[in-house]
Amino acid sequence: MFLDVLATEFLKLRHSRVPLISLAAFSLGPLGLALFMWIAAEPGRAKGLGLVGTKASLMGLAATWPAFLTMLTQVVGGGGLLLLAFVVAYLFGREYQEGTAKNMLTVPAGRHLFVLAKFVVAAVWWALIVVAVLVEAALIGFALSLPGLTLSLALAALHRTLVVAGVAFLLTSLVGWIAVLGRGYLAPLGFAVATLALGDVFGHTGWARWFPWSVESLLSGTLGGRLTTLPAGSVVVLLVTFAVGIAATVAQMRWADNTQ
């Protein structure tokens, strides 16, 4: 039964342009990084860009693979949280916006199966985007002839980026609950923006490693110092957050009234 539900969820995306739009939007991240790398490599020619060139020099950017890969991890971390919020909000919220929730909830299948299937679809969707962006970033780096690439650097950056991407996914389960609770798109997107802001606030306190959204920022390095390893306490917090979100989403779909 779960495989049937999962196949149905994938079929729902067959004629949707949203996956391609999300990929196109996220692919702008490496292109933006490429612009900064070019400015750092060609400061004289970049003077014509005005403030952009000035800001780049003040930031102390270096047109190297280490700098490029560090910034890429930050894009996957911060941008991934927003993109995943959009993806999960779309998968759950579209049922209410398109008037198909009543059909889904009357199918003779456990409602928890729909929740799990939608999160599997979100995971596959996100994984494909991450792989595509990594390939794009690699092509950009080689096209710019950035120096400083070694095998150990590439493997470490790949591992760090995949961990950041995985942590970002673990934080999406609560977005699914908010989407079902709010029966649409706006509430989960607002929730995602609010948690990003809170993650930045708590990231500057001693509670950073215990607040899930701050853990993501610490791993990606957007708060300055970057965690090299994920503490056991932070892993527990992330897993509990994911489990609570799944349970809340299932409970909302199983017991809440559907007035559609």
CA dist., res. 28 & res. 34, Å (int): 10
Q: List the chain domain ranges.
A: 2-14+64-255
How many angstroms separate the first and last alpha carbons of the chain?
Answer: 25
84, 129 contact by CB (below 8 A): no
Taking only the tens place, the pLDDT of each residue in 51-71 is 454 554 545 678 899 999 999
The two three-digit tokens of residue 48, written as one number: 């014509």
Question: Within 10 Å of residue 117's Cβ, how many Cβ atoms?
Answer: 21
252, 181 contact by CB (below 8 A): yes
Q: Which residues contact 145 (CB under 8 A, 6 or more apart)?
A: none
Please check the confidence at residue 260 and state whether its pLDDT lies above 70. Answer: no
- Considering the chain, what is the average pLDDT of its residues? 85
pTM over 0.75: yes
Question: Within 10 Å of residue 80's Cβ, how many Cβ atoms?
Answer: 28
CA dist., res. 2 & res. 134, Å (int): 31
- The three-state secondary structure class of 157 is helix
List, as one string, the DSSP characters of 81-104. Answer: HHHHHHHHHHHHHHHHHTT-HHHH
As a whole number, mean pLDDT of residues 25-34 equals: 93
